[in-house]
């Protein structure tokens, strides 16, 4: 009997909530899509403080409050999560990064410095290793900015954040990325670099569109697994 190998996907989270961590809908849809397609996932996060903490009722920052990315991300993963230092590329077939402002505040400082931003060393390590191993990378919402910061100059990937004429797109072009327009319910596939991106809440009008785009991204990522 031929043994069927189940693909394993690493998912990087960065907190719990769209304004200061992982966008909960995007993260949940990612995990759901992986499961629906018959693959397995494991969640990882940095064991570090968030770049900011927000009051989701008022939409204002709470400068005196501190939250840990790993502990907050465990809320989404129902406690099944590991420190990203334990993420070994050889254990997985692909990588997916949901969005949320935490991706731009916690995993890097793109929200503050744009194209001049730096990426957390562990996040940079993981992205670089997956790319060098020619394993697919999926990036959702603002997470393509992290891909651009790490791989833009070397790989010159084709990515999307939805629109092509806004300030964020211009910053990504400065990182030698080709920025392609995409609807929320679709994704952009860079076959050469095995990078798949979708806009999600960068330009979403309906939650169903976000779900559709992430489902397409996940399917495309799995199709690129060799």
Average pLDDT over residues 37-52: 97
Mean pLDDT of 132-145: 98
Q: Assess whether 141 carries a catalytic annotation.
A: yes
Amino acid 1: pLDDT: 63
151 within 8 A of 140, measured Cβ to Cβ? no
Average pLDDT in the 45-63 region? 96
Residue 3 has pLDDT above 80, yes or no: no
Phi, psi dihedral angles at 12 (to 5 degrees): -100, 120
User: How much is the average pLDDT of 16-26?
Assistant: 97
Is a pLDDT exceeding 80 seen at residue 2? Answer: no
**Which of 43, 108, 141, 187 is labelled catalytic?**
141
Give me the CATH topology for the region 8-223.
Rossmann fold (3.40.50)
């Amino acid at each position: 009997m031929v043994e069927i190998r189940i693909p394993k996907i690493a998912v990087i989270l960065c907190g719990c909530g769209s304004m200061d961590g992982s966008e909960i809908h995007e993260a949940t849809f990612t995990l759901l899509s992986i499961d629906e397609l018959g693959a397995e996932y494991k969640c990882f996060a940095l064991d570090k403080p968030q770049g900011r903490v927000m009051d989701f009722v008022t939409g204002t920052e709470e400068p005196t409050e501190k939250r840990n990315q790993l502990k907050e991300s465990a809320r989404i993963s129902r406690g099944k999560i590991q420190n990203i230092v334990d993420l070994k590329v050889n254990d997985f077939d692909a990588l997916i990064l949901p969005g949320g402002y935490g991706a731009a505040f916690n995993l890097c400082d793109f929200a503050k410095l744009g194209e001049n931003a730096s990426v957390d060393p562990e996040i940079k390590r993981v992205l670089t290793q997956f790319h060098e191993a020619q394993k697919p990378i999926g990036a959702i919402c603002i997470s393509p900015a992290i891909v651009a910061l790490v791989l833009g100059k070397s790989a010159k990937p084709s990515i999307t954040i939805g629109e092509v004429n806004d300030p964020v797109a211009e910053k990504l072009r400065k990182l030698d990325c080709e920025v392609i327009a995409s609807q929320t319910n679709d994704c952009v596939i860079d076959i050469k670099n095995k990078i798949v991106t979708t806009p999600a809440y960068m330009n979403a009008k309906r939650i169903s569109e976000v779900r559709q785009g992430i489902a397409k991204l996940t399917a495309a990522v799995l199709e690129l697994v060799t």
